[in-house]
Amino acid sequence: MIPEPLRKFIELFAKLPGIGPRQGSRIGFWLARQPEETLRVYQHALEDIRTRIGICSQCFFVFEPERNERANTPSEGEGAAFCHICRDPRRDASVIAVVEKETDLITIEKSKRFRGLYYVLGGTFSPLGEPNGNVRAKELIERIKNAKTPFQEIILALSPTSEGDFTSLELEKMLAPLAVKITRLGRGLPRGAEVEFADEDTIAGALEGRK
């Protein structure tokens, strides 16, 4: 009943976070009714993501490389594959906040209360077995071990959900041999809340009250 190109589109978009089959169908049918000019705008936006967005080789946050950087893939030692946060010499390189996803990092940055570095974990461990997402735990350990400036504190800035708490406990075990101070977000974030949706004052309180 549904044309093949539209069916494939719905299947793909249904896999996106927060979408699902129903929302994927609504988006697909809406786009099918749009003029060619509108479709080209979305096509160009997706193409820009593919060609103009890079992933920081140090913290895994997204950034837009300069044109010459996109033309020449740099080595990690040159620093050209680093995002603007990792490159900023004004950041406190002795403190690192581990967040689950990019939107958590953005929320913390908006609070303007944290001036250290970040690490996007990419997912969480699950008490039920399979992890949620691609959890970069081993890469985190390597980054801390090989940091030019030794870290004095690792903030596990994960959401106080069951998966977030379980992941924090697992990371604490994995990081314990490194003998670095490990803290977690404190007051401000209620049980079950997600960092991404917290307001700036709540995040600020959670950072100040970390323990």
pLDDT of residue 203: 73
- The pLDDT of residue 157: 94
17 and 69 together in one domain: no
Predicted pLDDT of residue 96: 97
Q: Taking a C-beta distance cutoff of 8 angstroms, is the pair 156, 184 a contact?
A: yes
Please give the model's pTM, rounded to 2 decimal places.
Answer: 0.80
pLDDT, the chain, mean: 87
- Taking only the tens place, the pLDDT of each residue in 179-204 is 899 998 876 666 666 777 677 767 76
pLDDT tens-digit series, residues 34-77: 999 999 999 999 999 999 999 999 999 999 987 655 544 444 44
Cβ contacts of 118 within 8 Å, gap of 6 or more: 59, 61, 85, 96, 97, 98, 99, 105, 108
**Rounded (5°) CA angle 121-136-194:** 25
Of all residues in the chain, the percent with pLDDT exceeding 90 is 67
Give the pLDDT of residue 79: 46
Domain count, the chain: 3
Domain identity same for 132 and 198? yes
| 116 and 164 share one domain | yes
Residue 70 pLDDT: 53
- Work out the average pLDDT over 25-38: 96
Output the domain CATH number for residue 193: 3.40.1360.10
Q: For residues 100 and 187, state if they share a domain.
A: yes
The alpha helices in 56-121, defined as continuous H runs, are 67-71, 84-87, 102-111
Do 8 and 110 lie in a common domain? Answer: no
What local confidence, expressed as pLDDT, does residue 66 receive? Answer: 75
CA 120 to chain centre: 4
How many other C-beta atoms can be found within 10 angstroms of the C-beta atom of residue 107?
A: 21
Range of the domain at 59: 53-82
Q: Give the pLDDT confidence score for residue 190 in this predicted structure.
A: 60
**Which amino acid type is present at position 8?**
K
CATH number, residue 20: 1.10.8.420
Residue range 93-106: mean pLDDT, rounded: 96
